[in-house]
Amino acid sequence: MANDHIVKIRGLKHSYKEASTMKQVLHGIDVDVHPGQNVFLTGYSGSGKTTLISLVGCLRSVQDGSLKLFDEELNKASARKLLAMRKRVGYVFQHFNLLDFLSIRQNVQQSLEIQPDYNPREARKLSEEMLDAVGLGDRVNDHPSDLSGGQKQRVAIARALVHRPKLLIADEPTAALDTSTGRDIIDLVQRLSRAQNSAAIIVTHNMRILDSADEILHMIDGRIGTAITEQISLVLPNLDDRHLAEIASKAIAREYKPGDLIIKQGDPADEFYILTGGEAHVFRLDDNGNRTELATFSKRGTYFGEMGLLTEHGTRTACVEVHGSQPTRLLAIKGSDFAEMIGRSRATRAVITDEMWSRFNTDGTTPLKRPSHHPVRDE
């Protein structure tokens, strides 16, 4: 499908001039962002996050590689084209970037004034509605200096979304805010962008807010790596830091193509899986080869493969296949590492075992013996 991508990046490289040499800061990036997807971009300071989003947001020119925004190639795009594309994106910055000599309604309205079909009356109405949606409907005539940090960021969100962009870019929108205000701001960005079916790329260092992402991209020295530690800590929050780092170092990132079988019923159970992208479908086959559809997992962080590992049965009780037209990405943890993990963290074992029993109950078949370890809840 031509329109299946909001952003499609292949082999993107970028360098800055430093004295008389060039310093390369992006080393061949591949990224896909689909309509309505919330993608969080994490990584240490200096790893290249701001460079990457400023290229996506048409604030810089592409030097090398392919970057398609709304299906249009930005490599070799003219300054005029970049400017036109920039108007179709919404931006939220760390330091709000509001103009204090304008009222907050006028600040929001600015985004509409640069659109080709600008109509002042309509723009005023839309700006007031958008401020209402961010909870500032009664403050439209105030100026930014009258507001708290969290309220200023709400204005910035209204300004970024008022023209209904198909992509919102937020560069550390919570960095200048306290934790609970930051969480509210992320919730708001996600609620409003989802309501408009806008994709959002949100740069953040804040691990506590990552659980609501559709996808987490982790930048390491100008490359996209799998956010293995972050993914595992979200799924299994009871692991202590040392244990988490140990498991993360042993987890293997895998990608399966549409049509691939991930788990085959009857095979020995030897791995535990955490879904990090795409969808996985579970079905069971009876002796005559008839299929019973059991579940489709689409939420990032869903885990599976625990049944064969936790029960004395030891073999796969169902098949799992790639679902839909996108690849399915997983973190695989070897059975022996999984056993060690739940052996050391009773809370983790309890959570996974409870989830397994609730799956047995929903799927209506419990062909297996109870696990040898009963859930423990005393941590």
Ligand X SMILES: Nc1ncnc2c1ncn2[C@@H]1O[C@H](COP(=O)(O)OP(=O)(O)OP(=O)(O)O)[C@@H](O)[C@H]1O
Under the rule (CB under 6 A), what is the footprint of ligand X?
16, 18, 25, 43, 45-51
Q: Is the Cβ–Cβ distance between 85 and 74 less than 8 Å?
A: yes
C-beta of 65 vs 278, nearer to ligand X: 65
Q: What tokens were used for 56?
A: 């996506």
Minimum CB distance to ligand X, residue 151 (Å): 24
C-beta of 60 vs 143, nearer to ligand X: 60
Minimum CB distance to ligand X, residue 152 (Å): 20
Q: Is the Cβ–Cβ distance between 65 and 9 less than 8 Å?
A: yes
Backbone angles phi, psi at 91, to 5 degrees: -125, 140
Minimum CB distance to ligand X, residue 61 (Å): 13
Nearest Cα to 322, choosing from 288, 282, 287, 266? 282
C-beta of 50 vs 231, nearer to ligand X: 50
Backbone angles phi, psi at 2, to 5 degrees: -60, -35
C-beta of 8 vs 49, nearer to ligand X: 49
Minimum CB distance to ligand X, residue 64 (Å): 15
d(CA 326, CA 319): 19
Minimum CB distance to ligand X, residue 16 (Å): 3
d(CA 254, CA 328): 8
Distance of CA 217 to the CA centre of its chain: 7
C-beta of 93 vs 360, nearer to ligand X: 93
Backbone angles phi, psi at 235, to 5 degrees: -75, -40
Minimum CB distance to ligand X, residue 96 (Å): 16
C-beta of 169 vs 331, nearer to ligand X: 169
Minimum CB distance to ligand X, residue 86 (Å): 18
Sign of CA dihedral 84, 87, 89, 95: positive
C-beta of 91 vs 304, nearer to ligand X: 91
- 280 - beta bridge partners? 297, 322
Minimum CB distance to ligand X, residue 301 (Å): 24
Return the DSSP state at 315: B
Minimum CB distance to ligand X, residue 13 (Å): 13
C-beta of 51 vs 198, nearer to ligand X: 51
d(CA 230, CA 210): 8
Nearest Cα to 357, choosing from 298, 301, 312, 311? 311
C-beta of 51 vs 174, nearer to ligand X: 51
SS3 sequence, 13-60? EEEEEECCEEEEEEEEEEEEECCCCEEEEEECCCCCHHHHHHHHCCCC
Structure-token match 């409870």, residue found: 354
